[in-house]
Amino acid sequence: MSALWTARAIAGATGGTASADFAVQGVAFDSREVTKGDLFVAMKGEATDGHKFIDKAIAAGAAGIVCETPIDFPHVRVADSAAALTALGAASRARSRARIIGVTGSAGKTGTKEALYAALDRFRPGKAHRSVKSYNNHVGVPLSLARMPANADYGVFEMGMNHAGELAELTRLVRPHVAIVTTIAPAHMEFFGSEEAIADAKGEIFEGLEPGGTAIIPFDSPHYARLRAKAERHAARVVSFGFGEGADVRAVDWLSDGRGGSLVTAEVEEALLCFTIAQGGAHWVANALAVLAAVKAVGGDLPAAGLAFAEMGGLAGRGARHRVPVDGGEILVIDESYNANPASMAATIGQLGDESGKRKVVILGSMKELGAGGEAYHAGLAAPLVAAGVQFALLVGEEMAPLAKALEGRIDFEHVAAHPAATARLRDLIRPGDVVLIKGSNSVGLSHLVTALTHGDY
């Protein structure tokens, strides 16, 4: 196996000084993620200093260190480790001949990124690379770039933001050949005055497009015209996806497969493709359409993408499904605990309406960063819950108070302050045959409830 980086290449990219010759197979900035042969980048952060964990990284098998102080271990010394990581990411992008795809949006970024990777990896096994987890910010994106093998054919990178200007900086580092906006929704409204401002910020992804690049945008979005106008200033080609007549990549028909997934017939410009998606719901159909548009744009294989959709399991925190034994039977736990905004909440609750079970239960956590409209957004979830036939709702977090008020007399519910109190209620709450949806902003900590249920620790 050829090295991902040599000490000489790292020093050349970062302007640092190498203490010795070494080679690495991976890159990490979290000592807990270091594996044998990795480069550990010791960065100073707001909460701690990575230099304190160099010994731990070495014990875990690190083959080299990027650091700001001399150490008695093979290293490249730099003036600023965070800047060095960005420089290493830029060097990786500069040496790559891969077709690069950037993904952003208010919801669906990670799922779309993972589906794209699965589709391209099925077409060219071992030749596709993507961001891991949700490494989509000013340190996660350079890290993901730095990890890309020099011989990769495809690179898929998730990019996020919560302030104007952030995405412009990231996309100029990634320099995608294809840029996708999945959807526009009221996420991070605390930092933006309107959805239009969010659309403008997401549209920054097009600013980094390579010459001849393709922009992929949601046809059914009320901000379609705004996104298209932005895309046309930077892209050689704009491709729309959605359900409406006129979309370039369109779902002609789709329905639930009765097992938590969807059967879809889609027009991909002049081609017609029938496929199954392991995940259910209109939002996943839309994600798949965006993926098909991107696969076609980079010269991938559409049938291989269709097969990849059927093979994809749910992601932890983003749709993973767990059949869990309980006294007297089993329950189905749908784990959407990683993140939430009003649009993704409504979509996922709507999907729950298609599930079959003796009782539909939701455990919903507060949606964060919604600004002045937060109370109305939370209360607005009452109608989707009623429409989905939910019989019981466990609401977690103080921001859920408006929803609790809106549900009075409509659905049985309880409202608790935090996830420990919610966990304490599980044993009395859960019954055999339940379908349990767990969704909320990551900071609410509902993943603890998923762990408790799946491990029987409640």
Q: Output the domain CATH number for residue 58.
A: 3.40.1390.10
Same domain for 101 and 12: no
Q: Which CATH number is 144's domain given?
A: 3.40.1190.10
Angstrom distance (rounded) from CA 285 to CA 108? 11
Q: Which residue has the tokens 């875990």?
A: 60
DSSP state of 440: -
Taking Cα atoms as reference points, which of 81, 68, 63, 74 lies closest to residue 18? 74
Same domain for 261 and 349: no
DSSP state of 48: -
The two three-digit tokens of residue 78, written as one number: 């730099």
Same domain for 112 and 73: no
Q: Which of 34, 51, 79 is the last residue of a domain?
A: 79
Same domain for 230 and 361: no
Same domain for 157 and 69: no
Same domain for 445 and 328: yes
| Global pTM value | 0.84
Dihedral sign, Cα of residue 148, residue 151, residue 156, residue 160: positive
**Where are the strands (E) in 311-410, listed by range?**
320-326, 329-336, 359-365, 392-396
Angstrom distance (rounded) from CA 73 to CA 69? 11
Angstrom distance (rounded) from CA 320 to CA 453? 13
- Half-sphere exposure (CA, 13 Å, Cβ side) for 121? 16
How many C-beta atoms surround the C-beta of residue 17 within 10 A? 12
Contact yes or no for 234/206 (Cβ under 8 A): yes
Same domain for 351 and 289: no
What is the 3-class SS of 55-77, one letter each residue?
Answer: HHHHHCCCCEEEECCCCCCCEEE
Same domain for 298 and 162: yes
Same domain for 158 and 24: no
Q: Which of 263, 293, 311 is the last residue of a domain?
A: 311
Q: Which of 311, 341, 372 is the last residue of a domain?
A: 311
Is 215 inside a domain boundary?
yes
Is 278 inside a domain boundary?
yes
Report the run of H or E that residue 136 belongs to, with start and end. none
Is 265 inside a domain boundary?
yes
Is 42 inside a domain boundary?
yes
CA distances from 429 to 353, 392, 397, 424, 449 (A): 20, 9, 18, 9, 12
Is 91 inside a domain boundary?
no
Is 84 inside a domain boundary?
no
Instruction: Report strand pairing: 262-268 vs 237-242.
Output: unpaired
SS3 111: helix
- Give the domain range for residue 25: 5-79
Same domain for 57 and 136: no
Q: Which CATH number is 436's domain given?
A: 3.90.190.20
Provide CB contacts within 8 A for 376, sequence distance 6+: 402
- Half-sphere exposure (CA, 13 Å, Cβ side) for 350? 12
Same domain for 356 and 255: no
Contact yes or no for 60/39 (Cβ under 8 A): no
Angstrom distance (rounded) from CA 413 to CA 407? 8
Is 120 inside a domain boundary?
yes
Taking Cα atoms as reference points, which of 266, 263, 291, 300 lies closest to residue 278? 263
Is 89 inside a domain boundary?
no
In the chain, the number of structural domains is: 3
- Tens of pLDDT along the chain (458 residues) come to 689 999 999 999 999 999 999 999 999 999 999 999 999 999 998 888 999 999 999 999 999 999 999 999 999 999 999 999 999 999 999 999 999 999 999 888 999 999 999 999 999 999 999 998 778 899 999 999 999 999 999 999 999 987 889 999 999 999 999 999 999 987 666 677 788 999 999 999 999 999 999 999 999 999 999 999 999 999 999 999 999 999 999 999 999 887 778 999 999 988 899 999 988 888 899 999 999 999 999 999 999 999 999 998 777 788 889 999 999 999 999 999 988 889 889 989 998 988 888 999 999 999 998 888 899 999 999 999 999 999 999 999 999 999 999 999 999 999 999 999 999 999 999 999 999 999 999 999 999 999 999 998 88
Amino acid at 212: G
Same domain for 218 and 132: yes
